[in-house]
Chains A and B, each alone.
Chain A
Amino acid sequence: MVDFQLTKSQGQVKEFIHQFAESVVRPMSLQADREHHIPDDFLLRLAQMQLAFSGEVPVEVGGDGGGAGEAKDKRGKSQKNRFAMIGAEELSWGDASIILSLPGPGLGGPPVQFMGTPEQKERFFGVFKDRSQLHFGAYGLTEPGAGSDVSGISTSCRKEGREWILSGRKCFITNGGKADWVVIFATVDRAQGRAGHRAFVVEKGTPGFTVGKIEEKMGLRASETAELVLDEVRVPEDNLLGGEVHYLGKEGFMGAMKTFDSSRPMVGILAVGIARAAYEYARDFVRENYLLARAIPRYAQLATTLADMKRNIDAGRLMCWRAAWMADEGIGNAKEASMAKAYAARMAMKVCADAVQILGAHGLEQHQFVEKWYRDIKVYDIFEGTAQIQRIVIAKRILREPPTF
């Protein structure tokens, strides 16, 4: 049955995480942005609190995927992706950088999840059971010479005895500098394109594996974005994700891509969370302020802009929910995942720009939050596949498949 109501437990999760986002996360937001850093003790405290709802937090952003979200619906279908949407929107509403800095496997989670052998999952996810210290995973695909065109990566790998030797350079890696391990994509032979790709888990401290520059960015300033240098790094063969058999077919590359079917709607809903934060802020500003001694809501054009913002946020959320629902139902959602991300990211950029506009000069003041969201949101149309790359994915699918309406 077509339905858009949250279940009782989804409602509770939303409420709980919202409280957390409002009372714990948001108050740290401006300081973290200013200092380009989130205090470790704050993150540790979050890590401990996270235990309470880690099941609701998607693996991608630090949860362990257990908990209420694992509850199956009446037909035995998972609800995990829908729960993840609900929780992630609230956290992102709190602060975008902080959610990306929550301890956990981060973007490195999905490839280990999808490609890893049971032993590898045990080994690499096991690290996060220790809540006394901060532990991170990361995802290293992008290189100075290969971003959108993933097939063009040049970080090399060659096998010697029971080890692989990796050399190259990765850039823009979220949490790359502090990660306990990073999933590094490398190639055995550039001429083979995607078929030559291999994914390794490279552990911190491995000789030759060093952190280069930490980027200073327009937004998401409190989230670490690092350059990683691999200079003849020797990695044990057990760290090749999925083992060598995994790469005999086309699967190797598909593993990297499959990650996106769940991470793209996630990026989309994170954008929705930021947009909602900006919208609510602007709405409350309009409610409470006066212009030329008249209540601002009396200016119909501003009010209409607010209505537009709210409506488009709702539409963006539905696009993300749709992709997540398909994932839960086990229906292929590559196209819908890309649509969710592309639609939500663009919507959110417009909403954040409108929020700044509505606040007027106040919108530029750093303590008013919206200028921060305006800076944060831009990257949602860049990482995890740019706006253009999403449209390529969508277009390829619609030109190949019959209409699905």
Chain B
Amino acid sequence: MISFALDDDQQIIQQTVRKFAAEVLRPALRTWERERGVPAAARRSFHELGLGLIDVPEARGGAGMSALTSVVVHEELAFGDPAAAVALWAPHLAPAAIMELGDEAQGRRLLARFGERAEALGAVAYSESGNVPLAGFATVAEKVAGGFALRGKKAFVIHGGAADLTVVFAQVEPGRGWDGVGAFCVEGAVTQGARHDLLGLGAVHAAEIVLDGVVVPEENRLLGGADGFGPSLRRFFARAALTSAARQVGLARAAYEYALAYTQERHAFGKPVAHFQSIAFTLAEMHMDVEAARWMLWRAAASDGNLDLGLVAEAAVHANEAAWRVADNAVQLLGGAGYVQDYPVEKWLRDTKSLALCGPTSELQQLALASLELGHAVDGDGAGFPASAIQPIFT
């Protein structure tokens, strides 16, 4: 039955996180950007709200909330500050990886730390900065006595080097592309390489990590769910995309509401600038963009029980596009004020680009969607875009 009504408990959570976002995140947005991190006190408040493992099933030590509740939370956090939304989420994507790729015992054992300590950080390392050849990642996992030795360098790892638990994707069978990839949970510190200076999301610690033969015990290898590693991997990337889409919606809403308020206060030629038709129409466009992106997000999240990867990809692309457009419009509607750091909107225009590149890109998702609709893989101009490259998000 088509319905857009959040349950009572979802509304309560929404209001609670909205308040936290307004009181704690929004006022600190510039400070944390300058400091390139979030303070321990904020982590503790976040932890006390119990938001770390919300969508992890109870059997695996989480709060067992639905994907829908979870996107509501991420949207509200990003409404406060998209960078803080990423930085404060201490477990980061590790629970999603363990949930989809690990078994129940691994879930309980590996995730417990996030419930216990506010300072415990999680990370997931898949990207590499060099060319990724068809053969697979340059980071390899080699079978040794007592487990696997990991060697290589990963890039763009959020909480990279600072995390207490890092899920590393490494090539177990070189030459086999994604079919030969394994996922390994590295407990304890890993060596950090260079920290990235990013266009946006300045408060987020994103860094390279260096794996110099660290040995991961056999029981920390994540083998995928009942339907195998590939489908589990796709679901993991889908969860990452869903979270990212929720943040884009929150960011878009923030930019829209800021511009809406500003243009009603700012006067030019004797009236509020919002009363010029071109400004009013732009506000209407922004509003439509936010709404459409949000319903696409909710529709995808509502397919939780059996996450529909096509809907997730649609939601993600839609949110990326809408958020960029809304943030750009917001900067435009504020004029010069939109461009200076006394106002938050220029930050959102930078943040939205960064968010859009934090997971599978829109381009990849579009190709995956097209493949779904056309019933076979789209492979670009033959030379450039092998279907296997989109396999992890390929539905």
List residues of chain A with CB under 8 Å of any chain B CB.
1-7, 10, 73, 79, 82, 283, 286-287, 297-300, 303-304, 306-308, 310-311, 314-316, 318-319, 321-322, 324-326, 329, 336, 339, 342-343, 388, 390-392, 394-395, 398-399, 403, 405
Cα-based distance from A315 to B311 in the complex (angstroms): 11
A314 touching B296 in the complex, CB below 8 Å, given contacts A3-B302, A306-B370: yes
CB of A261 to closest CB in B, whole Å: 16
Q: Is the CB of A300 within 8 A of B1?
A: no
| B280, CB-defined interface residue at 8 Å | yes
CB of B231 to closest CB in A, whole Å: 21
List which B11-57 residues lie within 8 A (CB) of chain A.
none
Tell me which of A6, A82, A307, A390 has the highest count of chain B C-beta atoms within 10 A of its own C-beta: A307
Query: Which listed residue (B2, B5, B291, B317) contacts A311, Cβ 8 A?
Result: B317
Cα-based distance from A308 to B1 in the complex (angstroms): 26
Cα-based distance from A325 to B281 in the complex (angstroms): 25
Q: Is the CB of B4 within 8 A of A310?
A: no
Query: Which listed residue (B284, B303, B370) contacts A307, Cβ 8 A?
Result: B370
Offer 27 A-B interface pairs, CB within 8 angstroms, sorted by A.
A2-B3, A2-B6, A2-B10, A4-B302, A10-B2, A287-B374, A287-B375, A297-B374, A298-B382, A300-B370, A300-B379, A300-B384, A304-B363, A306-B373, A306-B374, A314-B296, A318-B292, A325-B3, A339-B291, A390-B284, A391-B281, A394-B287, A399-B260, A399-B264, A399-B275, A399-B283, A403-B253
Instruction: Mark interface residues in B247-274 (1 if CB within 8 Å of A CB, else 0).
Output: 0000001001100100010000000001
Cα-based distance from A287 to B4 in the complex (angstroms): 35
Residues of B contacting A329 in the complex (Cβ-Cβ under 8 angstroms): 5
Q: Is the CB of B378 within 8 A of A321?
A: no
Q: Is the CB of B370 within 8 A of A304?
A: yes
Residues of A contacting B294 in the complex (Cβ-Cβ under 8 angstroms): 405
CB of A300 to closest CB in B, whole Å: 4
Q: Is the CB of A343 within 8 A of B292?
A: yes
Q: Is the CB of B378 within 8 A of A297?
A: yes
CB of B308 to closest CB in A, whole Å: 10
Q: Is the CB of A398 within 8 A of B374?
A: no
Residues of A contacting B299 in the complex (Cβ-Cβ under 8 angstroms): 4, 314, 318
Residues of B contacting A390 in the complex (Cβ-Cβ under 8 angstroms): 284
CB of B98 to closest CB in A, whole Å: 26
Q: Is the CB of B292 within 8 A of A1?
A: no
Q: Is the CB of B379 within 8 A of A298?
A: yes
Q: Is the CB of B378 within 8 A of A6?
A: no
A314 touching B314 in the complex, CB below 8 Å, given contacts A82-B2, A283-B374: yes
Query: Which listed residue (A10, A298, A326, A342) contacts B288, Cβ 8 A?
Result: A342
Q: Is the CB of B292 within 8 A of A303?
A: no
Query: Which listed residue (A79, A287, A304, A315) contacts B367, Cβ 8 A?
Result: A304
CB of B346 to closest CB in A, whole Å: 21
Q: Is the CB of A311 within 8 A of B381?
A: no
CB of B241 to closest CB in A, whole Å: 13
CB nearest neighbor in B for A83: B2
| B237, CB-defined interface residue at 8 Å | no
A303 touching B291 in the complex, CB below 8 Å, given contacts A1-B7, A4-B299, A283-B373: no
Residues of B contacting A286 in the complex (Cβ-Cβ under 8 angstroms): 374
Q: Is the CB of B373 within 8 A of A315?
A: no
Q: Is the CB of B264 within 8 A of A398?
A: no
| B348, CB-defined interface residue at 8 Å | no
A2 touching B298 in the complex, CB below 8 Å, given contacts A7-B1, A300-B367, A303-B378: yes
A311 touching B374 in the complex, CB below 8 Å, given contacts A321-B2, A405-B294: no
Q: Is the CB of A3 within 8 A of B274?
A: no
Residues of B contacting A7 in the complex (Cβ-Cβ under 8 angstroms): 1
Residues of B contacting A316 in the complex (Cβ-Cβ under 8 angstroms): 292
CB nearest neighbor in B for A4: B299
| B73, CB-defined interface residue at 8 Å | no
Q: Is the CB of B314 within 8 A of A298?
A: no
Tell me which of A2, A73, A304, A336 has the highest count of chain B C-beta atoms within 10 A of its own C-beta: A2
CB nearest neighbor in A for B257: A403
Residues of B contacting A326 in the complex (Cβ-Cβ under 8 angstroms): 4
Residues of B contacting A2 in the complex (Cβ-Cβ under 8 angstroms): 3-7, 10, 68, 298, 301-302
Tell me which of B294, B296, B385 has the highest count of chain A C-beta atoms within 10 A of its own C-beta: B296
Q: Is the CB of A319 within 8 A of B295?
A: yes
Residues of B contacting A388 in the complex (Cβ-Cβ under 8 angstroms): 281
| B366, CB-defined interface residue at 8 Å | yes
Q: Is the CB of A297 within 8 A of B1?
A: no
Residues of A contacting B371 in the complex (Cβ-Cβ under 8 angstroms): 297, 303
CB of B272 to closest CB in A, whole Å: 9
Residues of B contacting A398 in the complex (Cβ-Cβ under 8 angstroms): 260, 283-284, 287
Cα-based distance from A311 to B317 in the complex (angstroms): 9
A3-B1, A343-B292, A398-B260 known, 18 other contacts, Cβ within 8 Å: A2-B3, A2-B68, A7-B1, A283-B374, A287-B374, A297-B378, A298-B381, A300-B370, A303-B378, A304-B378, A318-B292, A321-B295, A339-B291, A388-B281, A395-B284, A398-B284, A399-B264, A405-B253
| B133, CB-defined interface residue at 8 Å | no
Residues of B contacting A395 in the complex (Cβ-Cβ under 8 angstroms): 280-281, 283-284
Residues of A contacting B298 in the complex (Cβ-Cβ under 8 angstroms): 2, 4
Cα-based distance from A318 to B317 in the complex (angstroms): 16
CB of A281 to closest CB in B, whole Å: 13
Q: Is the CB of A307 within 8 A of B367?
A: yes
Residues of A contacting B68 in the complex (Cβ-Cβ under 8 angstroms): 2
Cα-based distance from A308 to B362 in the complex (angstroms): 11
Cα-based distance from A6 to B4 in the complex (angstroms): 13
CB nearest neighbor in B for A326: B4
Query: Which listed residue (A299, A315, A405) contacts B292, Cβ 8 A?
Result: A315
Q: Is the CB of A322 within 8 A of B4?
A: yes
| B168, CB-defined interface residue at 8 Å | no
Cα-based distance from A343 to B290 in the complex (angstroms): 12
CB nearest neighbor in B for A283: B373
CB of B345 to closest CB in A, whole Å: 16
CB nearest neighbor in B for A390: B284
Cα-based distance from A343 to B301 in the complex (angstroms): 22
Q: Is the CB of B295 within 8 A of A322?
A: yes
Residues of B contacting A300 in the complex (Cβ-Cβ under 8 angstroms): 367, 370, 378-381, 384-385
| B318, CB-defined interface residue at 8 Å | yes
Q: Is the CB of A399 within 8 A of B378?
A: no
A339 touching B314 in the complex, CB below 8 Å, given contacts A307-B373, A399-B264, A399-B283: no
Cα-based distance from A298 to B370 in the complex (angstroms): 10
Cα-based distance from A391 to B287 in the complex (angstroms): 10
Residues of B contacting A336 in the complex (Cβ-Cβ under 8 angstroms): 291
CB nearest neighbor in A for B369: A307
